[in-house]
Amino acid sequence: MKMNIVSWTKGAVTAVVLTALAAPANAAPANAAPPAATMLTIRADHAGAVINKYVYGQFSEHLGTGIYGGIYVGENSPIPNTRGFRNDVIAALKDLSVPLVRWPGGCFADEYHWRDGIGPKNKRTTRINTNWGGVPDPNTFGTHEFFDFVEMIGADAYVNANMGTGTAAEAAQWLEYMTGDQDTSLVKERKANGRDKPFKVSVYALGNETWGCGGNMRGEYYADQYNQWATFAKTAQKPAPLMLASGDRDGAATDFTEVLMKNRRAKMDAISMHYYTVLGSNWINKDDATGFNEEGWIRILANTVKMDGYIKKHDEIMTAAEKAVAADGPKNKVALYVDEWGTWYKPEPGSNPGFLVQQNTIRDAIVAAANFNIFHKYADRVQTTSIAQTVNVLQAMILTDGPKMLKTPTYHVFRMYKPFQDATSLPVEIKTGSYSYGSWTVPQVSASAAKTKTGMIVVGLANLDPHNTASILATLTGPVAGQVKGEILTAEAMDAHNTFDNPNLVHPVAFDGAKLEGGKLTLSLPAKSVVVLTIAP
């Protein structure tokens, strides 16, 4: 059996994949020999970059029932609510320790005029949501409601300004309205609308997908627009919001990143990158969210793990540009924000296609864990991500149906990975077998590790193989002692998912199969599972 050794290194992770090439191209993995044991080295005595808690951010766009019906039902709704916000959804999101929420879009942002969403609700402007379903948006969820929402769940605010149909003056005035602390007309207006103290804007983005729905711009044109708009985005807020430029699409494209990095004149703290996991190489060929076959399983995972190479390429471009102007020192560092990511399938039968409703299975849970492990690997560059989206849209945390609510497998992965927020990444070396089906091959195991502020070591593991258990043999360098405990999320079927009739079919349970002795950690990682371990000091 010939072994093809593929390796990659960056920051916290080194990986080697052993690929069996002798098997026929269409051999089913169930008939193949189980992969060799996965060997891990976790360098617990070598600190890497801090994993910014914003890596666990959310995205809530005016899209389908993501906001109306999902987060906000109005004060007169029979669904239990506080100031119009669903009590069940608020409680679930608080349990996730959501650090950041992006709003109002997405494509919606570049047709959103903030004045439509302030003042008395019965006097607000109703407009057609031309991007998502062609339905009226009454603007009853606006600036004040958004900040009420993020404050209720304990999150920070990422606000996306309208560069598509708006103006630089409109974006500057919105920032003043939100963050101003002096006696200006805009501040008086905010106070008259019920908010005395300034709102805190943590991230302020100028435009969204400006290469597409945000204006079909060239990178050079957008770079000039960004520098102009950012010059006038003034605020007394301390610290000032992080300023975000709209970057590349589909992961593989790099032209916006290249142009923006060479044309930074105004404040630019970060550049965005969007990458969705779809079935094939185009947006027409999408998979079903449930009822898929094994080809659907592996092709989704094979496209998910491409995230690693895409981030690596952008990181290289950004590093080279920073080195070219190294005299600027540390202030020259620009972050990469993966502020749209996740799976994108065919909409649920019978739903409005523009509402992007899809179910969420154990496959999506594996996708989420694999992405987290990649984001941790690039913790020095990837400072924020926002999964699409929080409720009822695409790879959602939560699904609602009238008064009913359920937590998806992806929700559970976000909760399991909470200890990674603001933890210090630890270098990990992994030598793993592969899982193959048809012409596709992926690493069997994905992993990352970190040390929390309390000194605990946390290890995240995902088995991408739907058939075979992965035997894990890990060595932890440095003095490591204490007990190991964990949680596991798995299921019998590849498309196992929670429904309103059975909302807890897929949920985490305690995992006691890991043993730690003399700096050696051993465990068996079941097929299609996510395990998070914590080792107390």
Q: Give 402: exposed, middle or buried? Use CB within 10 Å, 0-12, 13-18, 19+.
A: exposed
pLDDT attached to residue 13: 45
pLDDT attached to residue 212: 96
pLDDT confidence bin for 226, thresholds 50/70/90: very high
pLDDT confidence bin for 33, thresholds 50/70/90: low
Mean pLDDT of 78-104: 98
pLDDT attached to residue 519: 87
Class of domain 53-422: alpha beta
The token pair that represents 48 in the structure block = 């890497």
Tell me how far CA of residue 294 lies from CA of 22, 204, 394, 519, in angstroms: 21, 41, 21, 37
CA-CA-CA-CA torsion sign (130, 132, 134, 138): negative
Residue that has been written with the tokens 């506080």 in this structure: 82
Measured CA to CA, the distance from residue 343 to residue 353 in angstroms comes to 16
The token pair that represents 512 in the structure block = 């006691």
Q: How many helices (H) and strands (E) does the chain have?
A: 10, 28
Chain-centroid distance of CA 39 in Å reads: 28
**pLDDT of 255 strictly over 50:** yes
* CATH architecture label of 3-49+425-535: Sandwich (2.60)
Which sequence spans correspond to the domains of the chain?
3-49+425-535, 53-422
pLDDT confidence bin for 147, thresholds 50/70/90: very high
Average pLDDT, the chain: 92
Q: pLDDT tens digits, residue range 280-308? A: 767 788 999 999 999 999 999 999 999 99
**pLDDT of 223 strictly over 50:** yes
Specify the 3-state DSSP secondary structure of 188: helix
**Burial letters 136-148, b for 16+ CB under 10 A, else e:** ebbbbbbbbbbbb
Lowest mean pLDDT among 17-31, 335-349, 497-511: 17-31
pLDDT attached to residue 10: 40
**pLDDT of 152 strictly over 90:** yes
pLDDT attached to residue 314: 97
pLDDT attached to residue 124: 97
Residue 86's nearest CA partner among 392, 309, 361, 296 is 392
Lowest mean pLDDT among 378-387, 442-451, 477-486: 477-486
Is-above-0.85 flag for pTM?
yes
Active site residues: 209, 340
Q: 248: left (phi > 0), else alpha (psi -120 to 50), else beta?
A: beta
State what percent of residues in the chain have pLDDT above 90.
Answer: 87
Measured CA to CA, the distance from residue 258 to residue 261 in angstroms comes to 5
**pLDDT of 315 strictly over 50:** yes
**pLDDT of 7 strictly over 80:** no
**pLDDT of 11 strictly over 50:** no
The token pair that represents 499 in the structure block = 């429904």
Q: How many residues does the chain have?
A: 537
Measured CA to CA, the distance from residue 328 to residue 323 in angstroms comes to 9
Residue 132's nearest CA partner among 74, 207, 60 is 60
Measured CA to CA, the distance from residue 62 to residue 349 in angstroms comes to 21
pLDDT confidence bin for 32, thresholds 50/70/90: low
pLDDT confidence bin for 26, thresholds 50/70/90: very low
pLDDT confidence bin for 30, thresholds 50/70/90: very low
Q: Give 214: exposed, middle or buried? Use CB within 10 Å, 0-12, 13-18, 19+.
A: buried
**pLDDT of 3 strictly over 70:** no
Segments of 249-355 assigned E as strands: 270-277, 335-343
Contacts of 88 (CB under 8 A, 6+ apart): 80, 405
